[in-house]
Amino acid sequence: MRIGFALPNVGPISTPDNIRSVAQRAEALGYSSLWTIERLLYPVKPQTPYPASPDGSLPEPYRFVLDPLDALTYAAAHTRKIALGTSVLDIPYYNPVLLARRLSTIDYLSDGRLIVGLGLGWSKDEMDATGARMEERGARADEFIDIIKTIWTKEPAEYHGKFYQLPRSFINPKPVRKPHPPIFMAAFAPPALKRLARVANGWNPVGIPIEGMTQMFATIQQMAKEEGRDPSLLEMIVRANLHITPDPLPEGRFIFSGTFEQVVKDVAACKSIGAHEVVFDPTFTPNGQELSTWNALLEKFSAIPH
C-alpha cells in the first residue's frame, strides 16, 4: 500500500517555504504523493453547517487557503518524481474547458505526475459565490467529466451537451499520462457512487469508518462490473484527516484520531480491506499549523509498515 502526504495549503502554515520544505522532505522519505485541498471561502454565517464540527462552524485555518492547483504547480517545480493530487476539486465551481487545460498543463509541466480528485461540493455559500446550483450538481458532473476526457484524448476535440458546448477545436497541451491522468471521486451518495463506478479510476473516501469503506467499495466494484468495467482496476485512496492526541481515545473514536499508535492501527486496517493508498493530512491536528508538527509526522508515518 502506498502512502501520501498533504501539502500545507490551508491556514497560516501555507507559506512558500513550508510548501517547498514539506514537498521535498516527503519526496526524500519515499512518499508516493502530495495532495492539496479546496476551500473557496470562509462564510461569516454559513448557510450549510460544516459537517465535521459540532456547531457547524468552519475551522479557523480555513480563513486562509491557497488555490489548490497553484500550490500543486509550485510543489511540482520543487520536486521531481512524487505524484501530485487534488483531494478534491469541487466540480460546480469550475468551467470544464478551462479546468481541463489547467490540469493538463500541470501534468505536462510535471512530466505526468498529476492525480485528479473531484467532488460535488456541499457549501451553499460557495455554490452561490460561483453561480452554481445545488440541484444541478449531479447532472452537470456527468457532462463535466465527459468533456474533460474528450479534451484530453481527442484531437481536435468537440462536445455538445445540455450544459456544456465545445466547438471543434485544438486544445493543448495534452496530458503526458495516457489516456489521461487518473480521476478519483469523493463520492458518498448512491448516484455519486454509480457515477464513480462508470467513469472514474477510483474512490477518495474521507471520514468513513473501516466497516463503511469496506461495504461501500464493494458496492462500487459491483456497480463497475454492471457497467462492463473491470472492478479490479478501481483503486481506493483514503484521505486520513489526522487528530493526534497524547492519550488514547475510547472505542467509537473517529477514524485517524487518537494516539499515534491508534492511528497506525487504522492505517493497517485500511491496508487489510484493500486500500491502495492512505494520505495523511495534519492540518487540523493539535499544533497542525506548526511546521515542526508536519516534519515530525512526515518522519513517523514514513517509518510505519505499509
pLDDT recorded at residue 54: 82
What CA–CA distance (Å, rounded) separates 95 from 86? 17
C-alpha to C-alpha distances, 211 to 15, 55, 215, 251, 278, nearest whole angstrom: 37, 26, 6, 14, 16
- Provide the grid cell at 117: 480528485
In the chain, the percentage of residues whose pLDDT exceeds 90 is 98
Q: Which domain holds residue 120?
A: 2-302
Q: Which residues contact 221 (CB under 8 A, 6 or more apart)?
A: 197, 231, 232, 234
| Count: domains in the chain | 1
The total of other beta-carbon atoms located within 10 Å of residue 276's CB is 16
pLDDT recorded at residue 53: 83
What CA–CA distance (Å, rounded) separates 263 from 243? 9
3-state secondary structure of 6: strand
> In 131-238, which ranges are continuous DSSP H helix?
137-153, 190-199, 210-226
pLDDT recorded at residue 219: 98
pLDDT recorded at residue 27: 98
- Provide the grid cell at 149: 476526457
Q: Which residues of the chain have pLDDT under 50?
A: none
Q: What is the CATH number of the domain that holds 254?
A: 3.20.20.30
pLDDT in tens, 93-110: 999 999 999 999 999 999
pLDDT recorded at residue 180: 97
pLDDT recorded at residue 55: 85
3-state secondary structure of 65: strand
pLDDT recorded at residue 274: 98
What CA–CA distance (Å, rounded) separates 247 from 263? 12
pLDDT recorded at residue 138: 92
pLDDT recorded at residue 16: 98
What CA–CA distance (Å, rounded) separates 11 from 4? 20
Q: Which residues contact 86 (CB under 8 A, 6 or more apart)?
A: 35, 36, 37, 38, 68, 69, 72, 115, 116, 117, 118
What is the four-CA torsion angle of 228, 116, 113, 176, rounded to 10 degrees? Answer: 60
**157-160 and 202-203 strand pairing:** unpaired
pLDDT recorded at residue 52: 80
Give the bridge partners for 10, in sequence order.
65
Among positive and negative, which fits the CA dihedral 53, 7, 9, 274?
negative
Per the CB < 8 A criterion, the answer to whether 282 and 294 are in contact is yes
Give the bridge partners for 240, in sequence order.
280
C-alpha to C-alpha distances, 254 to 213, 234, 236, nearest whole angstrom: 13, 26, 19
